[in-house]
A and B are shown apart, each in its own frame.
Chain A
């Protein structure tokens, strides 16, 4: 087995880049929608054969065992080449949780199935009354014989209509003194009578989010991961790496590149006002990347990231939105048109970019919630 961490960053980058460029199917590059598994299965098979499905997992569980520095490189190369993340909820969320908190039996059973995508996972966290205030979740799981019986509703469940399993936060002790207590982490199969999935059509017409209804659905007791009523702490422990990942510069950088070719084709740069606003956006992206590097270096030195890393997410998601506004502006009378707009030999789907930029400020803890956290945890502002 290769010890990837032992080779130089530059060599590792070359290796990863080489593989993606040679093996990643051209038709799947820079997908503007979230694919169903069937659409990307041929790529997943290759990735699985290579042993690269789970870059962050320890090698003993079938991962690449990458340290933080190598992991960042892996993701940077993935984004650079427009490689789709695939159906990675199992890899990103469930696997690490089972590795950290699961029993030996759980590891032996679930981890290989996650890697092979025999099981495809979706995340059941948010509920109609538990969005930013996630700890307010109400979906109940009660023990009945050898099973948990689940009742309630999850929402914004990404790709639930294409998942075989759901990992969820459920309330197992409604009488706990604090709402963060009494929450457990449970795995449940989707293919059963008590589970109903309805897709939600988004502003852009996509159907990647779902509502999931549980009406006395069942999950065996051994599907509880970690201790009963300790799910909140476990779920939070997973978030630290994700927080730098969702603050990465790539989405904004890609959008800026699109904006530039589109604006050039449209002659928007003839307008000095537009030039200035473009320069502002471009510098916002460059200087964000400098701050991102500072945090990435912290990770590379083996330091733990603090709450201040959320700055990256706030800045870059809002910057991404400003860039897509400039695209609409450059589109002029075409600014309301759905589908790709052709300019010269480039084709840019202005509205697709615009819509793509919307959820970033909402998911992963809305930017308002992030500001609340920063104001208390970083600036030390009172109450």
Chain B
């Protein structure tokens, strides 16, 4: 087996182990949560009989270890159980929500990642001059403002005053791609503003770091212009940290957009999770936790693998 395959296999095995450990943590965490699912479902209108009936029906009295393994084996086979509150199949209910979340994250990434990298390169090219300073100022300002505030501001000016794009990002299956993109224009804009600075700064820092190397000087001496030096020599060597930060931000776009989903009424996973947390619907919370963990670990694994593949020293270890 070539060392690179072995290295990759190790990475993937480690990721799976990590996911397994996280599943234990998620399960244990949701077990120790205070509160009573039956009370949460029935709310103020709960009577003692109704509570007892509901608790028995939900089967919340089995031993935890038994419930953990039943849940784990089910999850491995794609069976995430049924929601306590609505009795729906979780995997089915989640899939459309998950695709919606990925859809939004994907288009936000399509806008944000190239823009961030381009702005980062631009900032390096004009280091310490006005374009660099302006890019830094604007992106840092946008990351410093809470995202819901950016959301409200854009909503007020662009949706209510100018009426360019809708304020409610409602998508459904009967809409065409163009309609969907029109509906999610505002959330994409907000998400882009939120993740831009982090990626841009990292691109700038990583490339500037490489720019101090001797081979960059060589490249300059052999007569390449500034952009070619960055593009041909600096960027490939700075790719590992950039991919790392891009992946972190992609993970954020998938798992961290609850606030944006609520503000723009977007039917993604975040809103789904929040509704079920407030109703103590543990199976759904567990399923969402597991999926979020898998996304996070998966994206970080990809970042690791890209770092390995892009680095000759890691590719050919002595």
Same assembly: no
Please report B residues at the A interface, Cβ cutoff 8 Å.
none
